[in-house]
Structure 1
Amino acid sequence: MLLGFGVDLVVHEQARHLQGLGHDVRVFTAKADHRMERSYDLHVLSEVVPGFYDYTSRSAIRSFLKSRLASDVDIWILHTPPFYAWVADIEAPVVFVEHGSPPGHLFDNGTAYHLWRLMHAHHAEDYGRLRSGDAILSISKYIENTLPEEVRAYSTVLHHGADHYRRAHLGERLRFRFEHGVGHDDVLILWVGRMQFDLDEQPYKGFQSLLEMLPSIKRLREDIKIALLGKVSEEDAARLARMGVIVLPNVPAGMMGTAYAAADVLLNLSQWEGFNLALVESQFQGTPCVAYNVGPHAEVTAPGRSALLVSNADEVLPALKSLVSNAALRSEMRDHALAFVKAFRWEENARSLESLLVQSMHRARGGRRRPRSEWGLLRVPVPSRCDQSGQAFVPVIDWAPV
């Protein structure tokens, strides 16, 4: 588990808060940074069962589930593939955390088809095995609406928290700006994400679009500064610096809140998200956002008050201009952001998750445990090849007994 990744941060926050509520929490993962501070037990799968690296091997999964650390688990929370498929062998109740998957048209054809097969196998096979005590935790209403209609009754929407990075005070904000060459009267625009000029692994995050917009953004006013924060190679960081932007590579977790607070505006160009932590992280520091009105963005911002949500690329620069040229508007939106984001707290997330876990266990104990021979499957037709547009991945889904 590496906290630079969104899902890992979610697991960490939920685990530590559930542990704080008095539960015995064990996190099993493929890899981990054992130096991170934590209150829960963290175990690497290959250390629990030596040689366990194929997380799709049914025999290896069963050996793991019989191990001392796993055999007495009362309920499982599964966050990502390939672990979703473990429901086939787990006897205890299972809660699937549904993060969603980007649509195929945002990738090349090969990647699009691969993602489509994974997602529809997940819907058909994993959700086809749902039992009375199992549940789905959708990270946004948008994600819940992407689930097959037949399984939405299993779903509960639970938003992430926003308070995992400490709120920075004014002195920290000013010092961060000074250390990076941003003057008191300068306007700092922050963009957060992975930076890859070539072989962009997350094209939907909008880095290539940002590169195209940079010259126009710089012309919005003379004293504008642009900072890009995230994972980046030394070569790409040097290239960005030559383009006149501030590069903030691999910022430690303890400084993330300060980076958001130091900015005057967060620019987010993602074309798809299941939730979008960056938007709530920015609002938690009082920094207004400009983002596309896609997916869950209207759920995790207060449109028009804490964020300006735009419909297309042509609206990005006008939205930015309205903020960078109006300090009073930024101040007003800061107040709205701080008020709106109060609802996004990890403590409340954990309490709601605890309630869901208790309900699932009660249903499992009170209901009949269907034998595997009675499990239903979502029968999803899988095409033999991807079409050229990469957008034809909307199959008819039928709910049928095996």
Structure 2
Amino acid sequence: MKILCFSSVLRQGFGVGLVLREQTRLLSQQGISLAIASPDTEDAGSFNVPVHKIGFDQDSVHSILQQIRPDIVIVHTPPYWEMIGSYSLHPLLKIAYDHGEPRADLFPPIQAKRIQNAIDSKYRAIDRYHFHISISEYVKRCSGITNSTVIYNGSDHITRQPIAHDDINTLISLPENAVLISTISRIGEAESYYKGFPELISLKDKLTKVCEPRPLCWVMIGKSIPKNNAAETMLRDHGFLMLENAPDALKNAVIARSDLFISASRWEGFNLPLVEAMALGTPAAGYSYAAHPEVTPWHFQNEDELCRFAAAVIQNSRLQTSLRTSAVHFVTSQFTWGKNAQALSGILRQMSATGGSPVIRQSQQEAFIDVAREPVQIVNEHLSEKRSQYHAVALDNGCVRLHAPTKSKTSIAIVIPLNQNKAVFESYIQAFMERTAYNDYTIYIVTDKNTEPHVLETLHAMRENNHIAVLETNARSVSEAYSDAAKRITDEYIIFMDGLTIPLAPDWTDEFMAHCSAHDVGAVGGIIYYQDNAIKDAGIEIDKNGDIQYCGRGLPRGSGGPLMEFAVVREVTAISDACICVRRSDLLAVKGFDTGLGGVYAVMDLCFSLRANGKKILTTPFAAFQEFTSEQNTKHIAKNADMNIKNTGSDVFFKKWIHKRMPSPRQRRP
């Protein structure tokens, strides 16, 4: 039985080379004849099997196949999927050893299309293979290949080098008593899109404060391609210590010395460096993305959770010691090259004796549906046993979410400031009602003292609709009009709209009610898009300079954000004035809106007051809105100077709250 393995890379820094080195070492000991074909032969001497140099072209692939005439070919990387898939010059069993590919949506649109085409081409070729191996359940799920076999990588190639802590401190210029955190990553343009470098910077800023008075040193281990690229420069500028081309002895010693190893990567088919860190006895943490839930027990949904874990490990030496033991046990009990080679050897011998079976692949959509269906059933059975009123539903992207029971009989008041452009306002109200499916609601159109007579005539005509009422006020600002309306309205819940934002789906009110009816929730907002489908507003945070930051602004629709935070219901500091839902009793308990503030500052002030009363402020992506535009109001909105777009009182707002110590609940889920 002759085996030929194809890979475009073998050198250090790429996991494929390590996998092949360990597999060929162990399989050759079992008497299995192996060889490797690769254009990357610089480290060929470190393999104990022949390494044949080939090109990236089909002719060189055909030539090596004719020369060696293997019984089985194992393909690890592009561009060889298609070349081997189409090969038919002699009988050949074909195995696809799938390490996964970073998702196309992690990259800019121009690159994303090319990457997705390459992924599609890869799996079309694999349809002609006889066996498919995935390095994780995550890679299997992404491939959609139902009869794929998962074989995990090993970790026992790692050995801890006998370098004393003091020597390590000297070698990397580490201050005495410093907290050491390490990360391994290639650093380049492609990696900058998904390796989580901005998230690492944010974590470093927060953990620096946690570590005080001890200094924090964060070491980035890995090669920069090209040298001094933008990602490397950004990390250096934020105080990361770059350890490039470090020998294995030093690299392993630094990781073993580390208090914690962190990966902020948004995509990993396995994440071998994270597993290697645990094999060295270092607690290793990451976000709950991709294969991380399979390879570490310490994976977290958001930055706050990860920071709290890191703080506990850094500040509690007994906990750190315990986790070091747990880390070693976790990886050595699951991830060994002996298990890996044994599983692969069994597959090779079986295929040699009986041949392979065709790869069975679903469409990505079918795979996602199947993945989601089983958890939904399990969750709903659990909820039924607990006699919960909640129920689980499968989302189109393969996720599962809980639906809270809604108060369908609850009356809702929707307050909208009058737009003085009659034609625009009529079209807005009509579109708004067409996109609102809730039954028991009333739209209260709020006027001010400057309302023109011809506009009032239009309002009186609108009153014929049972869902519309008019509240005439002498308000001088939107906040004053809102406060007046809240006192006169008797409905249990009030939704304040800016008159320039329109719902995208008719069930938006049900989504608001599902959350706003919770006793600990003070206000709920949705996610708002520009006309070009970029995010305009997914909540408000205030940065360390005291500036307002609109969450997600400019990101494309569906991207979810760096941590997928805009794809989930989440707690935020405040909501903008575009759309906010509150319980009337909660609103009156904080004495309504501050009439000395205008626009977004009035609504932010309300949110801060609600939070001061122990209430949460939420945004939900399942209530989506968009800027309302038409041929009649495209120019009008840009120059509109009526009360509903004035943002006044920033100095008053910040003076009022600057000393109240209102911590940001950023990225925390309710």
Provide the TM-score with structure 2 as the length reference.
Answer: 0.49
Aligned to 2:331: 341
Distance in 2, matches of 1:391 and 1:289, equals 30
Q: Which amino acid aligns with 1:152?
A: T
Secondary structure at the counterpart of residue 295 of structure 2: coil
Q: Residues 88-134 of structure 1, C-alpha deviation per residue, up to 9 Å, x if partnerless?
A: 2153211111111122221101221112111122222x23213xxx2
Measured on the aligned residues, the alpha-carbon RMSD in Å equals: 2.8
Aligned to 1:228: 220
Distance in 1, matches of 2:318 and 2:93, equals 52
TM-aligned CA deviation for residue 174 of structure 1? 4.6
Check the 8 A contact 1:129/1:376 in 2, yes or no: no
Check the 8 A contact 1:165/1:253 in 2, yes or no: no
TM-aligned CA deviation for residue 238 of structure 1? 7.3
Aligned to 2:63: 63
Aligned to 2:132: 136
Aligned residue among 279, 283, 304 for 1:284: 279
Aligned to 2:76: 79
Check if 1:190 corresponds to 2:182.
yes
Question: CA 1:201/1:226 → structure 2, altered by over 3 Å: closer, same or farther?
Answer: closer
Question: CA 1:334/1:136 → structure 2, altered by over 3 Å: closer, same or farther?
Answer: same
Aligned residue among 350, 360, 368 for 1:359: 350
TM-aligned CA deviation for residue 244 of structure 1? 3.3
Q: Which amino acid aligns with 1:129?
A: R
Q: Residues 193-214 of structure 1, C-alpha deviation per residue, up to 9 Å, x if partnerless?
A: 1234xx4544211123223443
Q: What is the identity percentage for the equivalent residue pairs of Structure 1 and Structure 2? A: 27
Q: Which amino acid aligns with 1:188?
A: L
Aligned to 1:177: 169
TM-aligned CA deviation for residue 192 of structure 1? 1.3
Question: CA 1:19/1:184 → structure 2, altered by over 3 Å: closer, same or farther?
Answer: farther
TM-aligned CA deviation for residue 241 of structure 1? 4.9
Aligned residue among 253, 256, 260 for 2:255: 260
TM-aligned CA deviation for residue 38 of structure 1? 2.4
Distance in 1, matches of 2:164 and 2:104, equals 41
User: What are the ranges of 5 or more consecutive residues in structure 1 without an aligned counterpart?
Assistant: 46-52, 382-386, 393-402
Check if 1:88 corresponds to 2:82.
no
Distance in 2, matches of 1:297 and 1:376, equals 26
Check the 8 A contact 1:76/1:92 in 2, yes or no: yes
TM-aligned CA deviation for residue 140 of structure 1? 0.6
TM-aligned CA deviation for residue 183 of structure 1? 5.2
Q: Residues 311-331 of structure 1, C-alpha deviation per residue, up to 9 Å, x if partnerless?
A: 123433222212211111111
Distance in 2, matches of 1:376 and 1:293, equals 28
Check the 8 A contact 2:221/2:244 in 1, yes or no: yes
Distance in 2, matches of 1:360 and 1:348, equals 19
Check the 8 A contact 1:227/1:248 in 2, yes or no: yes
TM-aligned CA deviation for residue 156 of structure 1? 1.0
Aligned to 1:246: 241
Secondary structure at the counterpart of residue 273 of structure 1: coil
TM-aligned CA deviation for residue 239 of structure 1? 6.9
Check the 8 A contact 1:105/1:391 in 2, yes or no: no
Check the 8 A contact 2:44/2:51 in 1, yes or no: no
Q: Which amino acid aligns with 1:322?
A: A
TM-aligned CA deviation for residue 191 of structure 1? 1.4
Name which one, 1 or 2, has greater alpha-carbon Rg: 2
Check the 8 A contact 1:25/1:40 in 2, yes or no: yes
Check the 8 A contact 2:161/2:249 in 1, yes or no: no
TM-aligned CA deviation for residue 82 of structure 1? 1.2
Check the 8 A contact 1:13/1:346 in 2, yes or no: yes
Distance in 1, matches of 2:233 and 2:557, equals 34
Structure showing greater relative contact order (alpha-carbon pairs closer than 8 Å, 6 or more residues apart): 1
Question: CA 1:87/1:162 → structure 2, altered by over 3 Å: closer, same or farther?
Answer: same
